[in-house]
A and B are shown apart, each in its own frame.
Chain A
Amino acid sequence: MKVSIVSLTCCAGCVSSLLNAGEALLDVLSDDFEIVYSPTFIDLKEVPNVDLAIVEGGVRTEEDEKLIKEVRAKSRIIVALGMCATHGGITSLGNVLSLKKILEKEHSLILEANKLPELKDLMYPICNFVDVDYYVPGCPPMPLLMIHTLKSIATGKPPVRHQSVVCTECHRKIVPAKLDKLYGIYEKEADHELCLVSQGFVCLGSLTRDGCGAPCPRADFTCFGCRGPPDSLLYRSRDMYALLVKVISARTGIGEEKVKEELYRNPFIFHTFIFSRFERFKARERVI
């Protein structure tokens, strides 16, 4: 099938991650895919008609919006790859303030010159503008997760979905503890076998979609939510906060009020990758 790889506003990490699949990617390329459009790798300047468009990045400029609409019109299937495309990603943290306003001085000049694409008011995931057939969240998604998904699409099978949370893929034992405070990632060394939350670290595994294989908790590092919410929390971000407070309180023995107080200190903790507005994100069965 003919494939295009489209980059909107992003860090290019998703396509890097796809390349990291190495031999597995070469197999997909020789068996199933012919990549015909990708500004990163191919000199074609016009968007062609394709069977499958793999889109990394979200919509930050008017040009991004124009491009994603054109890609939609010319592609049979669209896969949103990575958090920027699926949820707005890290760039959507810029939505806490008006980047557009801050840029106003430079921006007015840019508009005068009429050469640069105008910024949109916020950073948006692509589903706010076009229908998306499959969402593969992750920052970036693991190489094999992408390859399995792409391979399924190529062979016409529905891709395997991951609906649960990272804890299901984590080897650590949950043992309720009696702590008096929460810890930062570098404040103490983590025990290798115990649940990180039981040790007082703010690990987001219980709020985050599985499918990554839990690389961060395996490395003694807290999960920071880069796969976005699981099915059960997809439309209920307020529940997310309440759930996290409950989980931490239950596993550390710290009272809920005190947990809330400590979490309040760092407002970036659980919206790191999803601080955007979803308008048409109503396709639970399409999140891989």
Chain B
Amino acid sequence: MSLKREVTISPTTRIEGHGKVTIRLDEEGNVSDAQFFATEIRGFDYFLRGMDAERLPFIISRICGVCSTAHVLASVKTIENICRTEITETATKLRELLSMGQIITNHSLVFFFLTLPDFWFSTTEDASRRNMFQIIREKPEVGRKAMTLRNFGVRILDVIGKREVHILSAIPGGIISPLKERERTALLQRAGDACAVAREALATGKELFEKNWEEFRKAGDHKTSYMAMTEDDALEFYDGQIRIINSEGEKLSQFASQEYMEHVEEKSAGWTYAKFAYLKNSESSDGIVQVGPTARMNINKKTATEFADEELKEFKTKFGRIAHATLLFDYARLIDLMYACEKAKELLEDETIMRADTRVKITPKGGRGVGVVEAPRGTLAHEYTLTEDGRLESMKLIIPTQVNNAAINLNVKEAAKKFIQKGEIKPGLLNRVEMVIRAYDPCIKCATRQANSELTVEVENSRGDVVKTFT
């Protein structure tokens, strides 16, 4: 009897956006292929054409409600790049703080609400119970801690960003208004507790991680290149150079963020609404590169804050200078979170952050420009071309999930192979495939915002050979 069939996981759960996984089994019931699909699409790249540049940042933020702040920051940086505007030091500090608020809200959401249930419950746990709401029911204090941590980020976005989701205050030319003393003190009051919870989350995460490490490391460790922002070898989220290393840790290139598009290119595939992004040919042989928490740990040697720095060093001692195991994303994310809390506290303690010079006048110009930030899920790049009267002519965004898309698919296949053999699928194991996807924290909302018919579409046959190319 042939065991050839297709296994589908739909919808993939505890990730942001709509996706599904198809795993194909061959005659012997072993995995022959596995694909992770995005099943939604919206088309931002098209319908924003013609829009006034001044409206772009807060409209573009609607691409993703989870990492909206990163999009706003990338967007204002792009417009400033086109208009050749230098913002003030005070505005830079406030934007850095917004960026930390973004990391804290996102990473605490991902850790507590999306991935923690996988570590918390045993693999045989009933799927209907394997979620954060169940954890809150059993241990309400975990829920309160999660909210304490997340609320620190939310308050930063509310006070400085002026709205918690889809912030307003970051505008081309700086930040709309200065931070007031009472706002700063109120935020600082939350910072201490948030740092304490972050340390606790890190300790819990590490403990759960170590307990399951032998099993987790099986879940895929495809070796690829890595890319992240860096500032003198230190972790950086708002402004710095972009560095690419190969799987051995050798530096392939390092460049100013405005040159991003010369190093990375997009491709689309006919079978998913999400696009792929690869390194251009000169960088590495297969062009597959990963971004996100693990990439940040692999690229950087240190962090500018004390406790996160210790954790980064410990991470490197445990997993080597270049870590590859997919599920380490979850661990590395906690180090990001620790850093963001410490850094936010540090920024708030600095009284110069309240200075009044938050805005410079911007002179609208036409032309092309690029803006890059380190978003929660990795390096995020916006590129716009504006007309002389300041309207959007075209845009290109390269989103972390697009960059990771190739690696996600490879690791899904690898994980499926290890967990499904001779046609036998144990119920807990499909979640393992999802765990691999979840580790990347893919944001399908971001990766499917667009439609762009100018791109090349490749059709592959079952062997993966390209049989037809549409341009």
Interface residues of A (CB under 8 A from B): 7, 9-17, 19-20, 22-23, 25-26, 29-30, 34-36, 39-45, 60-61, 63-64, 89-91, 93-94, 96-97, 99, 102-106, 109-110, 112-113, 115-117, 119, 123, 139-140, 143, 184-186, 189, 215-216, 218-221, 224, 266-268, 272
Contacts and interface: CB of A to CB of B under 8 A. Distances in A.
Contacts of B23: none
Contact of B171 (A9, A34, A117, A186): A186
B66 A13 contact: yes
Chain A binding surface, main DSSP class: mixed
Size band of the interface chain B makes with A? 35 or more
B63 A11 contact: yes
Interface in B56-87: 58-59, 62-66, 68
A44 B176 CA distance: 43
Contact of B47 (A60, A94, A112): A94
B272 A116 contact: yes
Contacts, number: 222
Contacts of A219: 162-163, 168-169, 176-177
Contacts of B354: none
Nearest to B127: A43
B176 A26 contact: no
A103 B15 CA distance: 26
Contact of A23 (B64, B132, B147): B147
Q: Which 8 A-B pairs have CB atoms at the shortest separation, nearest pair first?
A: A13-B65, A109-B270, A219-B162, A11-B65, A43-B127, A93-B47, A22-B147, A99-B43
A40 B14 contact: yes
A170 B127 CA distance: 47
Interface stretch (B34-42, B249-257, B314-322): B34-42
Contact of B270 (A14, A43, A113): A113
B43 A94 contact: yes
B168 A12 contact: no
Given A61-B41, A184-B54, A215-B168, 8 more contacts: A11-B65, A16-B66, A39-B18, A63-B39, A94-B46, A105-B470, A140-B166, A219-B168
Nearest to B449: A11
Interface in B428-471: 431, 445, 451, 453, 457, 459, 470
Given A11-B64, A11-B65, A20 B52 contact: no
Contact of B39 (A112, A116, A185): A116
A186 B172 contact: yes
